[in-house]
Structure 1
Amino acid sequence: MNTPTPEALAEKILRGVGGPENIESLTHCATRLRFQLHDGTKADQAALDALDGVMGTVPQSGDRFQIVVGGAVASVYANIVNLPSMTGGGTPRPQSDAEVKAEIRAKGRGRFAWLDTFFEYLSDSFRPLLGVLLGASLIIAIASMLDAFGVVDFRAADKSATWVFVDSMWRSVLYFLPIMVAYNAAKKLRIDPWVGATVMAAVMTPNFTGMIGSKTPGVTTTTNATLGTSESVAHVFGLPMQLNDYGGQVFVPLLMVALLALVYKGLKRIFPENVQMVFVPFFSMLIMIPMTAFLIGPMGVWAGNGLGTGLSWLNGNAPIVFAIVIPLLYPFLVPLGLHWPLNALMLVNINTLGYDFIQGPMGAWNFACFGATAGVLLLSIRHREKDMRQTATGALAAGLLGGISEPSLYGIHLRFKRIYPRMLAGCLVGGLIVGILGGVDTKAFAFTSLLTIPVFDPMIKYIIAISAAFFTSMALVYFSDYRTKEERAQVNGERDAAEAAARGEVAAPAVTVPAEDRELVAAGAVAATRGPASTGSVAAGGPASADAVAAEAPAAGKGLELAAPVAGRVVGLGEVEDPVFASRALGEGVGIEPADGHVVAPVDGELITVADTGHAFGIRTADGTEVLVHIGIDTVKMNGKGFDVRVEAGRKISAGDLLAEVDLGAVRAAGYPTVTLMTVLNTADMASVEPHTGQDVAAGAPVVTVRR
């Protein structure tokens, strides 16, 4: 595998989404690059999916586009934004009235586009917090492990200052979560995120929370003797205001910011631009802080309590149904990024009920996912699949230690359709066990990994459930394989060929040839991989007759010179940014960075194949040497635009005859490399193929020597 450099991967991703001019904004989460494009149809999903380093792509409505790259997402993001062509930072380009109207119409496309936008708002409000939530989760897990081993009473009311301080390390994330969510939500809606954070912080200050249950004048507190709860109401400017502790709340900031966005944008239309910096935040705070304290805050608390109570009722009255639905639902929510709303409900449960019952069944899904990855890892070891072994090892480590499923999903499971049914069986088994055993709870928000097992109660039930889910998925994947029999035979054959090539038993490794090249050189590509004993021929026209070869072939050992088809700088195939050519799967040869678009025949012979798009030519010489001239990389996708072909298949040609005139400027404008490649397809049949690189040549100068 030719792994691209980080800079090359960044360039290819940028090209795949339509270039910097098509990017409105770019952010990232734990595993995904998240693009807001001007025109989503310009993204080349197939090309992006094919990149080494990209696990998958997820196009969404509203011209949003996600590219999953796994744990290296931060560095890939940094490489993209630091590219010279991204100097503008992906800021919106000026649009005409017609474009603005077209964009508005486009936003409404899709029957459920509004629902996608709603979930995107929820997801983007939580997604940037993944790192700190995971950090807090691991701190809780460590403290719980110490509690389980009797080192410290994690839940004691009279803990020492040391453990009170440790508590603050994870409680800081959960308590101030509303402020963080408000910041992200405001940023998502393109208003000042600090205004959103400030409004939420106003109802979390010690001044505000200190009034709860206090004897402050104007504050009354009543106690419900039946429920044992108390409620405080403050009379502010003569109006009653319910007092709540908003620490850990998530619905309040989400509701508040949605209304704040309307107020903020409305104020920007009212005030002149030169005074907006002062008066827009001022009036936004003046309006939204009282609105949050009097109305939105209590409404958000009621909504959260209602949802938590409803789910608690379902969990209490139909635990087995609840325990099965959750793990079977998650495998379909996570790939779409729609699992964050359920994560929000977990936080609501912990805040209102003091415990959560969703994370236990969710653990069945996570460990079924990791079990399927373990099955793939075992198969990759058994079948000596180096690349898959590396992918599965990294994904399994991220899952078992961090509780993150995306590397497994995008790196493996979504690529092979046989895995999902086997993984779902593991989800079902784990969920059934959770339900039959009466459910599993936790008093902390924790990513379901090996390290967080101690936070679940009863822990033994949880261990039984996740173990069953893990080993069920692993066994099903391992014993039935994630590839079909035909796919396994093909992959193992390619592996054997590659291993033989590494031992020097064949001339070139087995590499999958793209369809557009395969149709040009079907026989030649096979000849390049089947060893010295084979005889070469091209797809059309068949082998030259024995008499013709005997009459016209050069004497044994005499070299056949192949001339440069274009003027320019000659480079080795290893320097070419195309894995097929660089691996020599299409034979040994050279690449030439062209000085102009005048393409000529490199040798006397017969034109066996001429691509309809004009990007490639197959030539067979009198002695049976098969030569491919390929103009640019991926230029087949230009569908002939910029290529003026001057020959047709079947005719005899002489070295120097004009094959095509190519508009190199059009190729570059389309975002494709212009390097022109020339290879000897049946290299395996030759005594040697000697490229002469590192020189500037004119068209017609010798650049490859072929010896039989």
Structure 2
Amino acid sequence: MTSSAQQIVDGVGGPANIESFTHCATRLRFQLRDASKVNATAVEAVPEVMGVVPQTGDRYQVVIGGAVQTVYQEIQDLPAMQNAGSLSDADVKAAERAKGPRGRFDWLDTLFEFLSDSFRPVLGALLGASLFITFMALMASLKVIPAWNDPNVTLPAGWQFINLMWQCIFVFLPLMVAYNASKKVGADPWVGFGIMAVLMLPAFAALGDKANGGTTTTLFGTSGIPVAHIFGIPLLIRDYGSQVFPPLLMAVVLGALWKGLKKIIPDNVQLIFLPFLSMLIMIPLTAFLIGPIGIFAGAGLGSVLKSINDFSPFIFAIVIPLAYPFMVPLGLHWPINAIMLANISTLGYDFIQGPMGAWNFACFGATAGVLFLSWREGDKQMKQTATGALAAGLLGGISEPSLYGIHLRFKRIYPRMLVGCLVGGVIIGIGGGVKTSAFAFTSLLTIPVFSPTLLYAVAVLAAFFTAMSLVIVSGYKNPEPAGVPEAAVDTPADAAAAAVTGSAAYIDEAPSVEKGASVEAGAPAPIAAVSPTSAAIELASPLDGDVVALSAVPDPVFSAGTMGPGVGIIPSGNTVYSPGAGTVVMAQDTGHALGLKLDSGVEVLIHIGLDTVNLGGEGFEVHVARGDVVQEGTPLVTFDRGVIERAGYNRITPMIVTNAKKFGAIDPLVTGRIRVGTPVIAVQEKEPVPA
């Protein structure tokens, strides 16, 4: 049996199509050579996959959720992946030519992926450090120790030691970022680490002392900046602890230099001279130019946002939480995280994290609402998903499990969550804003870090309970598609009974009803019939239910006809039957999708519900296997509609002709209420080409 890791690799075009890949908190991030080779349906059919996110250029993201690290490692361990990821110069040039206009905005994805991959590996350390900060703040609030963040206060040695447990992460953060960023751009990460380390040596700072001939200067409104004179060249001496912009800029330049030197240095001496020449060029360049520019750039961006906040804390406190729900899915929050760190380093405090907390707690509140409803409805899978996401949020301040595991799947959640963001932001704005002197993940545990603590606590709890209440009151599940008859929601008693037994009576042929004909009380809903030609191949309905146009299926892959023409069926029964005689060519273990090759040559895909792959087979019983020969009316899959509905998935079932190019016109025959065995699609034989 093919592993999930292998299925994902195959779905994105195979090892040869993967230039590189990494992962974030919930997503696999692929840089592909040709994104057009991706089979999105195959990738989404993998049980661990929660969804896919195509991006500009040849980038592709596969949403996994909390198991992303495991899946990432499994893909790395595949034998076929051991030699994947190398491109020849000719391949690179050909790929760039093939991109055409679509690559014009490729730099945006490159920027955000660069920032993400530079910070992502250190998130665990940052989270751990933020909890130490919270503990110190709590002890100060309880008067156990004096103000821990006051530079004029000297703590007892024991408490100083505890303080060092978080300070070490932030002081040496530039080294961590330099390592990750250098690795991302393809340079030796330890060379990047070493270049940045020079600027953090105590001896480097001592170069600006008066004893060493140092002076001071004023630049961009900052006075008293130490200046060393190296062979007569002025060198600004800055404190690079906690700075993130200098190592990021350094890595960008190092990456370009590294690639350039590799082209001119012979392969047999690259091990020695490539690191040496890189350091020889980059250490002075970083010390004299890139480092100071990075500090001033970070301070400048922070000053712009500070000016906006100073002008109107009320507006700022509202805009930040309302913007974050849209920034995080796009990765746009990474630059803001860098500015937060720069604010703390240059200003001594940050003013963005407080309003951001309103978004996070509104996000967690919406998840709490989903958890409440899933407990009430007995939805085991959603209960597990929401419990894990809520724990990650309230205890760790991590929003991705909620966002990708729940909120982006159910469109009803976002508007209610935004109301919570607004409420929290308004409270913070009315109170004049919230500040923090340390970078902290916005969780329940870190509330004491923010000041004024009471204002912040009231705001985030208001955001939490507002979003939670709105989700509980209105529900979170997606509505049925537009244009679907209300009768489709209810299962007629006779059809339900027959569906359970699977008896021959269940496959009674529905009477032929002409378009516009009246229907007697108790009869099936009207059927709009189309008369096929005598040469047409008729495909029987695999389900009891209501037929709708394929364009009414609320999934762009199906509704746009990307997979092929067909119809959507809203099932009122619970068993899928074969629409004709043929062979099973695909039978997913999860039961949500089936592929058949009929004896007529028509290939059919039946996809039971939307996103139901996420159920992992729960509520599905597969009766056939690949290679089985079936007849019209052979039971294929039995499914529990209640499980699908409680999980919030739409049960509409697309029936698609996947090899339509081999045939002529393919037309739906009916709309409205139908029974199993009723012809629903007419496939015309392709007209022979005249000799």
Q: Normalising by the residue count of structure 2, what TM-score does the alignment of the two structures yield?
A: 0.73
In structure 2, list runs of 5 or more residues that go unmatched.
503-537, 547-568, 595-615, 638-653, 664-675, 678-691
Matched with 1:591 is 625
The whole-number CA distance in structure 2 between the counterparts of 1:565 and 1:104 is 43
Matched with 1:367 is 361
The whole-number CA distance in structure 2 between the counterparts of 1:326 and 1:410 is 20
Matched with 1:443 is 437
The whole-number CA distance in structure 2 between the counterparts of 1:114 and 1:123 is 14
Is residue 191 from structure 1 mapped to residue 211 from structure 2 by the alignment?
Answer: no
Is residue 318 from structure 1 mapped to residue 325 from structure 2 by the alignment?
Answer: no
1:637 shift after superposition: 8.3
CA RMSD of aligned residues (A): 4.0
The 3-state SS of whatever aligns with 1:35 is strand
Matched with 2:49 is 54
Matched with 1:250 is 244
Q: Is the 8 A contact 2:149 2:437 kept in 1?
A: no
Q: Is the 8 A contact 2:118 2:180 kept in 1?
A: yes
The whole-number CA distance in structure 2 between the counterparts of 1:428 and 1:576 is 44
1:366 shift after superposition: 0.4
Q: Is the 8 A contact 1:30 1:131 kept in 2?
A: no
The whole-number CA distance in structure 2 between the counterparts of 1:527 and 1:283 is 67
Matched with 1:168 is 164
The whole-number CA distance in structure 2 between the counterparts of 1:119 and 1:103 is 20
The 3-state SS of whatever aligns with 1:70 is coil
Matched with 2:28 is 33
The whole-number CA distance in structure 1 between the counterparts of 2:169 and 2:487 is 50
The 3-state SS of whatever aligns with 1:356 is coil
Match of 2:415 among 421, 424, 446: 421
CA spacing shift, 1:49–1:320, aligned 2, 3 Å:
farther
Q: Is the 8 A contact 2:171 2:242 kept in 1?
A: yes
Match of 1:342 among 329, 336, 339: 336
Matched with 2:68 is 73
The 3-state SS of whatever aligns with 1:415 is coil
Q: Is the 8 A contact 2:363 2:467 kept in 1?
A: yes
The whole-number CA distance in structure 2 between the counterparts of 1:94 and 1:137 is 44
The whole-number CA distance in structure 2 between the counterparts of 1:248 and 1:588 is 56
Q: Is the 8 A contact 1:56 1:411 kept in 2?
A: no
Structure 2 counterpart of 1:60, which letter? Q
1:385 shift after superposition: 2.0
1:273 shift after superposition: 1.3
The 3-state SS of whatever aligns with 1:36 is strand
Matched with 1:522 is 543
The 3-state SS of whatever aligns with 1:412 is helix
1:144 shift after superposition: 1.8
Match of 1:181 among 157, 177, 180: 177
The whole-number CA distance in structure 1 between the counterparts of 2:349 and 2:572 is 62
Match of 1:434 among 428, 431, 446: 428
Equivalent residues in 2 for 1:300-319 (5 A)?
A: 300-319=294-313
Partner deviation per Cα, 1:61-118 (whole Å, 9 max, x = no partner) = 2311112222221111112222333333x32255756x73243441752553223322
Matched with 2:634 is 627
The 3-state SS of whatever aligns with 1:109 is helix
Partner deviation per Cα, 1:326-366 (whole Å, 9 max, x = no partner) = 11111111111121100000000000000000000000000
Equivalent residues in 2 for 1:659-698 (5 A)?
A: none
CA spacing shift, 1:592–1:280, aligned 2, 3 Å:
closer
Q: Is the 8 A contact 2:578 2:636 kept in 1?
A: no
The whole-number CA distance in structure 2 between the counterparts of 1:280 and 1:69 is 38
Is residue 289 from structure 1 mapped to residue 283 from structure 2 by the alignment?
Answer: yes
Stretch moving more, 338-347 or 284-293: 284-293
1:17 shift after superposition: 1.5
Matched with 1:12 is 7
CA spacing shift, 1:565–1:329, aligned 2, 3 Å:
closer
CA spacing shift, 1:426–1:272, aligned 2, 3 Å:
same
Is residue 116 from structure 1 mapped to residue 109 from structure 2 by the alignment?
Answer: yes
The whole-number CA distance in structure 1 between the counterparts of 2:657 and 2:161 is 61
Equivalent residues in 2 for 1:265-284 (5 A)?
A: 265-284=259-278
Matched with 1:63 is 58
Match of 2:93 among 92, 100, 122: 100
Q: Is the 8 A contact 2:30 2:60 kept in 1?
A: yes
Matched with 1:474 is 468
CA spacing shift, 1:589–1:159, aligned 2, 3 Å:
closer
Q: Is the 8 A contact 2:543 2:573 kept in 1?
A: no
Q: Give identity over the alignment, percent.
A: 53
The whole-number CA distance in structure 1 between the counterparts of 2:113 and 2:17 is 20
Matched with 2:133 is 140
Matched with 1:407 is 401
1:19 shift after superposition: 2.0
1:324 shift after superposition: 1.0
The whole-number CA distance in structure 1 between the counterparts of 2:218 and 2:545 is 87
Match of 2:120 among 118, 127, 136: 127
Is residue 639 from structure 1 mapped to residue 639 from structure 2 by the alignment?
Answer: no
CA spacing shift, 1:491–1:77, aligned 2, 3 Å:
farther
Partner deviation per Cα, 1:445-483 (whole Å, 9 max, x = no partner) = 001000111100000000111011111111111111123
Equivalent residues in 2 for 1:420-569 (5 A)?
A: 420-483=414-477, 486=480, 506=500, 520-523=541-544
The whole-number CA distance in structure 1 between the counterparts of 2:166 and 2:435 is 19
Q: Is the 8 A contact 1:178 1:253 kept in 2?
A: yes
CA spacing shift, 1:484–1:109, aligned 2, 3 Å:
closer
Stretch moving more, 380-389 or 330-339: 380-389
The whole-number CA distance in structure 2 between the counterparts of 1:35 and 1:467 is 38
The 3-state SS of whatever aligns with 1:374 is helix
1:638 shift after superposition: 6.2
Q: Is the 8 A contact 2:363 2:402 kept in 1?
A: yes
1:372 shift after superposition: 1.0
CA spacing shift, 1:57–1:146, aligned 2, 3 Å:
farther
Matched with 1:331 is 325
Q: Is the 8 A contact 1:123 1:338 kept in 2?
A: no
- Which has the bigger relative contact order, CA under 8 A and spacing at least 6? 2
The whole-number CA distance in structure 2 between the counterparts of 1:636 and 1:485 is 23
The whole-number CA distance in structure 1 between the counterparts of 2:570 and 2:434 is 61
The 3-state SS of whatever aligns with 1:357 is coil
Structure 2 counterpart of 1:639, which letter? N
CA spacing shift, 1:529–1:473, aligned 2, 3 Å:
closer
Structure 1 counterpart of 2:357, which letter? G
Matched with 2:507 is none
Instruction: Count the aligned residue pairs.
Output: 562
Partner deviation per Cα, 1:143-173 (whole Å, 9 max, x = no partner) = 2222222333323632122222222221111
The whole-number CA distance in structure 2 between the counterparts of 1:39 and 1:63 is 6
Q: Normalising by the residue count of structure 1, what TM-score does the alignment of the two structures yield?
A: 0.71
Partner deviation per Cα, 1:614-669 (whole Å, 9 max, x = no partner) = xxx643xxxxxx32689xxx99786289x99xxxxxxxxxxxxxxxxxxxxxxxxx
CA spacing shift, 1:384–1:424, aligned 2, 3 Å:
same
Q: Is the 8 A contact 2:590 2:617 kept in 1?
A: no
1:123 shift after superposition: 2.4
CA spacing shift, 1:527–1:306, aligned 2, 3 Å:
closer
Q: Is the 8 A contact 2:57 2:103 kept in 1?
A: no
Matched with 1:669 is none
Match of 2:201 among 202, 205, 208: 205
The whole-number CA distance in structure 2 between the counterparts of 1:191 and 1:637 is 49
1:538 shift after superposition: 8.1
